[in-house]
Copies of this chain bind each other. A is one copy, B any other.
Amino acid sequence: MEQLLSNIRIQINENLYIKDPESSNLGSQIVTQGIELIKEIGFEQFTFKKLAKRIQSTESSIYRYFENKHKFLLYITSLYWSYMEYRLVIATNSIQDCTQKLMKAIEIVTGTPENLSLSLAINQLALREIVIEEFTKAYHNKAVDDENKKGFFQVYKRLVFRLVEMIQHVNKDYLYPRSLASSVIDGALHQHYLAMHFQNITDCDSEEKTCQFFKNIVSNQLNLATNEFN
């Protein structure tokens, strides 16, 4: 799997950057160090000026790669969801049994990524933390509809669609396959966030429990398509 991925180029929506950051050393510095910096100080406190100082470059140079920090966040979170999608496909592709396939998918989607060797030397764990802490801000804004039209959330949605398909494959009569899929992906992020900051409103104090919680919900939902409270 490592070899496989190290040769893979992740395609990110072209409108998220001005100049492809993978095309130069400065560009990849911006991405890798930008991730580290956001993880350290949070997206709110993050500025291109601070990043420029850290990589010993200038604000104006960074602006030649990214229009603003919002698009930078969209760029790096798209990277994350791309890696996630890739991992999902690799891990589930060979599984025949559709239920097992779905369960594997939930493991991938709710779990911590291994730090894979990729084209860019990105700190995957830092990136994951950023997604947990900040991704929600990337799509909660007044321009969502416009940005959505431009395909800025394509990768994320494609991941949800993959889960939806797996769910439908297990039980084609289930009434809420899309809500269930989006709930698992967003819910996992939320439970991880709670585990870090609001321990008393979650039971997910370990990776395994988080995974179990969602596997439990999904399998229950799909085995029992109807319930007594309709």
Please report A residues at the B interface, Cβ cutoff 8 Å: 41-42, 44-45, 103, 133-134, 136-137, 139-142, 144-145, 148, 153, 157, 160-161, 164, 175-183, 186-187, 190-191, 193-194, 197-198, 200-204, 209, 212-213, 215-217, 219-221, 223-224, 227-230
Contact = CB atoms under 8 A, between A and B. Distances in A.
Contacts of A200: 157, 178
Contact of A228 (B153, B193, B219): B219
13 contacts: A41-B142, A42-B141, A44-B142, A136-B137, A140-B193, A144-B197, A164-B201, A179-B202, A215-B227, A217-B220, A220-B224, A220-B227, A224-B224
Contacts of A228: 219
Nearest to A216: B227
A44 B182 contact: no
A219 B228 CA distance: 8
Contact of A177 (B148, B176, B203, B224): B203
A177 B209 CA distance: 12
B182 A202 contact: yes
Contacts of A176: 203-204, 209, 213, 216
Given A140-B134, A140-B193, A198-B153, A229 B215 contact: yes
Nearest to A70: B44
Contacts of A164: 201
A229 B229 CA distance: 25
Contacts of A203: 175-179
A56 B182 CA distance: 43
A212 to B, nearest CB: 7
Given A202-B178, A203-B177, A216-B176, A44 B141 contact: yes
